[in-house]
């Protein structure tokens, strides 16, 4: 099985052109960072219909995902480089996104989420947001010092399985963010989490047209509109190989 390893701000994936029959055990083996290739997930690219490719998301723990912003940007670059053109569509279980080349790298466009739902978690301001997959965004004084693992456990106990973000709005065009992704753990970046956090922040104050979301792996850029959200950033190759 041939594969390509890619990442978006350190959020890394193994890309495979299907068909690929991957059991949960096999996914865990491949994503293991000591015994396998190492990745936050595996993205299986299906056969295209026109300029639209279906993508199946396998999380590092073997579970299936609904949507993946940085993964979508990686797949988009891989396909644009291989098939040409400047734009395409990717069909995920959580919805179809459009992708294009952008000055920041690769940009993808999602449908805007429903209005975030304000919730309280042990006195912490938080919002529940669905962005193809569920998110819980908590606003804290300093994301770098927050006990993300404990907060993620508490948030999931209260709201169900979700990606959990801890964030601080520094200015209307800058957010600091860390994310604990369900089925993976803390990652260096999360594209849908960046978008969900901008949506939640807009419930508290007016945000700029283009917001930089600073994650441990680098910067992502979000443009929020009434009908669509655009996520942009770099999508990079790591290496290629094959598995028996």
Whether residue 31 lies in the annotated active site = no
Told to judge if 190 belongs to the known catalytic residues of this protein, a careful annotator would answer yes
Q: Which pairs from 227-230 meet CB under 8 Å and 24+ separation?
A: 227/111, 227/112, 228/109, 228/110, 228/111, 228/112, 229/109, 229/110, 229/111, 229/112, 229/113, 229/131, 229/195, 229/198, 229/199, 230/107, 230/108, 230/109, 230/110
Q: Which residues lie closer than 8 Å to 110 by C-beta, 6 or more apart? A: 67, 69, 95, 97, 131, 132, 192, 195, 228, 229, 230, 231
CA distance 77 to 186: 24
Which DSSP state fits 197? H
Helices (H), the chain: 24-31, 69-83, 148-159, 191-201
Identify the active-site residue in 9, 68, 74, 195. 68
Catalytic residue from among 31, 74, 190, 195: 190
Give the residue numbers annotated as catalytic, written as ranges: 68, 190
């Amino acid at each position: 099985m041939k594969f390509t390893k890619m990442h978006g701000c350190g959020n890394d994936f193994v890309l495979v052109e299907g068909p690929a029959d991957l059991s949960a055990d096999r996914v865990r083996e491949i994503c293991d960072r000591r015994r396998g290739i190492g990745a936050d997930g595996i993205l299986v690219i299906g056969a295209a219909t026109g300029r639209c490719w279906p993508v199946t998301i396998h999380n590092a723990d073997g579970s299936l995902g609904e949507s993946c912003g940085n993964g979508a940007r990686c797949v988009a670059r891989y396909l644009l480089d291989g098939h040409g053109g400047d734009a395409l569509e990717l069909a995920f279980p959580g919805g179809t996104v459009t992708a294009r080349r952008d000055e920041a790298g690769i940009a993808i466009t999602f449908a805007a989420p429903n209005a975030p739902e304000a919730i309280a978690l042990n006195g912490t301001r938080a919002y529940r947001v669905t962005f193809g997959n569920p998110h819980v965004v908590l606003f804290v004084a300093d994301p770098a010092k927050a006990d993300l693992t404990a907060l993620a456990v508490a948030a999931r106990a209260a709201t169900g399985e979700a990606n959990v973000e801890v964030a601080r709005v520094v200015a209307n065009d800058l957010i600091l963010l860390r994310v604990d992704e369900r089925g993976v753990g803390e990652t260096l970046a999360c594209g849908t989490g960046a978008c969900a956090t901008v949506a939640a922040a807009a419930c508290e104050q007016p945000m700029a047209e283009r917001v930089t979301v600073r994650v441990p792996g680098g910067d992502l850029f979000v443009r929020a509109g009434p009908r669509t959200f655009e996520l942009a950033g770099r999508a990079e190759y790591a290496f290629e190989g094959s598995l028996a």
